[in-house]
């Protein structure tokens, strides 16, 4: 792998940047691999990387229907946080943040990681109670969450001028999550892809999987793709919103439903907000990118949807909510809007699991799964390599449904 450093930058400047090597290869497709990973999003690529790095399994191919990193990893609002509610979830996300913090060095790829913290703006007492309960659970697992008063909240978020005592929902307090961060989403896909490729993993773009195949003993034997049949000993499914569509081809039913989540950005503004602002009572959250754009996200479309655009009513709802608290943003122009199709499990907790089909693994239900990419890849690779759960992902097994042991994870708006 060509190392990226200030020296390689200087050296390549001398040759007008004509001699940079490609970050990953495009090798010919083989007929057989030890492990096939379906979906070159964050989770698929991270899994391939850790399979090769931690477990020495290198005869691996990642199959991608479109282009690498063109799914939800390209579409999310990059909030990285660990303020979850359940004892089963928090340690997993704490680990993911820990991995993220060192990921630029680990991958030799600048992720522009910015640990800027998140502030929840609270406007109802039930929400305040819920977040304080969350705080107590988080403190047990080493995550950070602290209450702040209204004046401190307004001092730290200067354009927050709405929500006074006269308003429909006055602001009553806030919570600060100092561990929260943002980073460049594409770089996560590209960094893991480059690292995996360097360790022997093959990435095949424009290779959509049409069908999963099983043998006479019931176990997985391979897949049928747009480019023909490929056999494998193990197959992992990490296709985000399309999990049920692919699982159906082998008769596997999973407790997942697919929804459309959306975001939009404003024109670039001068530096204005230096934290992630989450407004759980209104269902809107925002942060300011390095380019100065406000990155704004809201609630999902209510019905099932595989679309990747945004509906006008969902958009208007988010804007209206934002303007209640940030009335001065009324004159800001919006530049782009988009959506993505995500699946969510019956109990809203992700699934990292074996399935009823020996050799078939699934990583799904990633509703707010950008933050979970490092830990998701680490634990899925462990499961594929050892056929046993990593302790951190044990609670995310499909087994929990056998006894209706749900891990009910309530949402905060920021994904």
Ligand X SMILES: Cc1cc2nc3c(=O)[nH]c(=O)nc-3n(C[C@H](O)[C@H](O)[C@H](O)COP(=O)(O)OP(=O)(O)OC[C@H]3O[C@@H](n4cnc5c(N)ncnc54)[C@H](O)[C@@H]3O)c2cc1C
User: Which spans of this chain sit near ligand X (rule: CB under 6 A)?
Assistant: 38-44, 63-66, 70-73, 75-79, 208-209, 238-240, 242, 246, 261-263, 297, 339-340, 342, 366, 368-371, 415
Least Cβ distance, residue 74 to ligand X (angstroms): 7
Output the DSSP codes for 57-87. ---EEEE-SSSTT-SGGGTS---B----S-T
Pair of tokens at residue 151: 């004046």
Cβ nearer to ligand X, comparing 371 with 390? 371
Instruction: Tell me if 362 sits within 8 A of 355, measured CB to CB.
Output: yes
* Strand pairing class (60-63; 32-38): parallel
Q: Which residue has tokens 């949402």? A: 411
Instruction: Tell me if 385 sits within 8 A of 354, measured CB to CB.
Output: no
Buried residues in 283-315 as b, exposed as e (16+ CB within 10 A): bbbbbbbeeebbbbbbbbbeeebeeeebbeebb
Instruction: Tell me if 135 sits within 8 A of 85, measured CB to CB.
Output: no
Size of the site for another protein (CB under 8 A): 23
Q: Is residue 307 involved in binding another protein (CB under 8 A)?
A: yes
Least Cβ distance, residue 173 to ligand X (angstroms): 23
Q: Is residue 404 involved in binding another protein (CB under 8 A)?
A: yes
Out of 3, 22, 216, 312, point to the residue binding another protein (CB under 8 A).
312
With CB under 5 to 8 Å by kind, the binding choice for 240 among another protein, ligand X, none is ligand X
Strand partners, 225: 209, 228
With CB under 5 to 8 Å by kind, the binding choice for 402 among ligand X, another protein, none is another protein
Least Cβ distance, residue 291 to another protein (angstroms): 31
Cβ nearer to ligand X, comparing 77 with 123? 77
Q: Is residue 253 involved in binding another protein (CB under 8 A)?
A: yes
Out of 64, 202, 343, 409, point to the residue binding another protein (CB under 8 A).
343
- Tell how far CA 379 is from the center of its chain: 15
* CA–CA gap between residue 50 and residue 58 (Å, rounded): 10
Cβ nearer to another protein, comparing 66 with 255? 255
Contacts of 255 (CB under 8 A, 6+ apart): 345, 346, 401
Q: Is residue 255 involved in binding another protein (CB under 8 A)?
A: yes
Pair of tokens at residue 154: 């307004």
Which of these, 321, 239, 245, lies nearest to 70 by C-alpha position? 239
With CB under 5 to 8 Å by kind, the binding choice for 302 among another protein, ligand X, none is another protein
Least Cβ distance, residue 245 to another protein (angstroms): 5
Cβ nearer to ligand X, comparing 172 with 181? 181
With CB under 5 to 8 Å by kind, the binding choice for 343 among ligand X, another protein, none is another protein
Least Cβ distance, residue 358 to another protein (angstroms): 18
Cβ nearer to another protein, comparing 17 with 253? 253
Longest CA span, the chain: 69
Cβ nearer to another protein, comparing 186 with 248? 248
Sheet holding 118-122, edge to edge: 146-148, 173-177, 118-122, 276-279, 284-288, 293-298, 256-268, 334-345
Q: Is residue 141 involved in binding another protein (CB under 8 A)?
A: no
Which of these, 84, 357, 347, 360, lies nearest to 238 by C-alpha position? 360
Cβ nearer to another protein, comparing 248 with 290? 248
Using CB atoms within 10 Å of the CB of residue 351, give its burial: 0 to 12 exposed, 13 to 18 middle, 19+ buried: buried
* Interface map 13-52 toward another protein (x if CB under 8 A): ----------------------------------------
Q: Is residue 161 involved in binding another protein (CB under 8 A)?
A: no
Cβ nearer to ligand X, comparing 91 with 339? 339
Residues 256-295 that bind another protein (CB under 8 A): 256-258
Q: Which stretch binds another protein (CB under 8 A): 115-123, 285-293, 300-308, 324-332?
A: 300-308
Cβ nearer to ligand X, comparing 38 with 85? 38
Cβ nearer to another protein, comparing 141 with 346? 346
* CA–CA gap between residue 72 and residue 70 (Å, rounded): 7
Q: Is residue 346 involved in binding another protein (CB under 8 A)?
A: yes
Sign of CA dihedral 129, 122, 286, 142: negative
With CB under 5 to 8 Å by kind, the binding choice for 307 among ligand X, another protein, none is another protein
């Amino acid at each position: 792998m060509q190392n990226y450093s200030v020296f390689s930058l200087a050296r390549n400047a001398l040759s007008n940047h004509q001699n940079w090597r490609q970050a990953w290869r495009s090798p010919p497709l083989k007929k057989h691999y030890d492990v096939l990973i379906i979906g070159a999003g964050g989770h698929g690529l991270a899994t391939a990387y850790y399979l090769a790095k931690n477990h020495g399994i290198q005869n691996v191919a990642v199959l991608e229907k479109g282009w690498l990193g063109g799914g939800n990893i390209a579409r999310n609002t990059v909030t990285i946080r660990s303020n979850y509610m359940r004892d089963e979830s928090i340690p997993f996300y704490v680990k993911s943040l820990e991995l993220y913090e060192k990921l630029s060095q680990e991958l030799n790829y600048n992720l522009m990681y910015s640990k800027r913290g998140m502030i929840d703006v609270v406007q109802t007492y039930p929400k305040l109670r819920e977040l304080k309960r969350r705080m107590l659970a988080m403190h047990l697992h080493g995550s950070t969450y602290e209450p702040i008063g209204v004046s401190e909240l307004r001092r730290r978020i200067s354009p927050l001028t709405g929500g006074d005592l006269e308003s429909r929902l006055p602001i009553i307090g806030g919570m600060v999550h100092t561990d929260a961060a943002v980073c460049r989403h594409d770089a996560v896909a590209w960094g893991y892809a480059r690292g995996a490729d360097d360790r022997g993993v093959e990435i095949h773009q424009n290779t959509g999987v049409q069908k999963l195949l099983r043998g006479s003993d019931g176990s997985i034997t391979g897949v049928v793709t747009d480019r023909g049949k490929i056999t494998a000993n193990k197959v992992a499914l990490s296709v985000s919103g399309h999990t049920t569509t692919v699982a159906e081809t082998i008769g596997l039913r999973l407790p997942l439903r697919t929804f459309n989540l959306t975001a939009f950005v404003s024109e670039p503004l001068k530096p204005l907000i230096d934290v992630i602002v989450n407004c759980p009572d209104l269902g809107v959250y925002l942060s300011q990118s390095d380019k100065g754009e406000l990155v704004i996200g809201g609630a999902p479309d209510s019905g099932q949807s595989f679309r990747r655009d945004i509906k006008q009513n969902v958009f208007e709802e988010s804007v209206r909510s934002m303007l209640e608290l940030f009335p001065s943003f009324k004159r800001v122009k919006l530049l782009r809007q988009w959506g993505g199709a995500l699946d969510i499990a019956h109990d809203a907790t992700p699934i990292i699991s074996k399935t009823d089909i020996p050799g078939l693994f699934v990583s799904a239900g990633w509703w707010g799964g950008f933050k979970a990419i490092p830990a998701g890849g680490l634990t899925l690779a462990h499961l594929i390599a050892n056929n046993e759960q990593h302790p951190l992902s044990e609670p995310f097994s499909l087994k929990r449904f056998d006894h209706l042991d749900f891990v009910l994870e309530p949402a905060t708006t920021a994904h």
